[in-house]
Amino acid sequence: MRLLILALAAFTLPAGADEMSGAEVYASTCHECHAGGKDNAPKFGDASRWKKLIREGLDDIVPEALHGVRKMPAKGGNPNLSDLEVARGVIYMANAGGGKFAEPTPAQVEKWRKKANAKRR
């Protein structure tokens, strides 16, 4: 009975509530390269570097983070992250570099996934 209640509770939570926040995603995965700027990764908090990426916009940079770009592996090399979590990680870093992006909507995340899939393998 208790198990059933737990299972029901899991289903009734709003979508994404069990997923990590941007800060948690950053600490778990992105920090490894973006804290120190490994392989020329845009460094966390480096506003001059993030300014250009912020201007490109989330529609460009989230699909790159999902798909991977040069030495940046797809999803930061952590396939356990959901697309929403990767997007939150991007937003967390972009906002630390001067951006003002809000929590993404499910429709945005879906669009970014389509853009990532359309990229050359």
Q: Could you say which DSSP state residue 50 is in?
A: H
Q: Are 32 and 98 in contact (CB under 8 A)?
A: no
Q: C-alpha distances in angstroms, 42 versus 7, 65, 87?
A: 41, 12, 16
The smaller minimum CB distance to ligand HEC, of residues 7 and 52, is found at 52
* Number of residues binding to ligand HEC, judged by CB under 6 A: 28
Binding mask 49-88 for ligand HEC (x = CB under 6 A): ----x------xx--xx---xxxxx-xxx---x----x--
**114 is written with which tokens?**
């389509």
Beta bridge partners, 72, equal 69
Residue 32 vs 46, nearer CB to ligand HEC: 32
Angle 11-62-108 from CA coordinates, rounded to 5°: 50
Q: Convert residues 23-42 into a mask of x (bound to ligand HEC by CB under 6 A) and - (unbound).
A: --x---xx-xxx---xxxxx
* Cα–Cα dist 115/95, whole Å: 22
Shortest Å distance, C-beta 72 to ligand HEC = 3
Nearer to ligand HEC among residue 2 and residue 121 (C-beta): 121
First to last CA, the chain: 47
43 binds ligand HEC (CB under 6 A): no
Which residues of this chain interact with ligand HEC, rule CB under 6 A?
25, 29-30, 32-34, 38-42, 53, 60-61, 64-65, 69-73, 75-77, 81, 86, 89-90
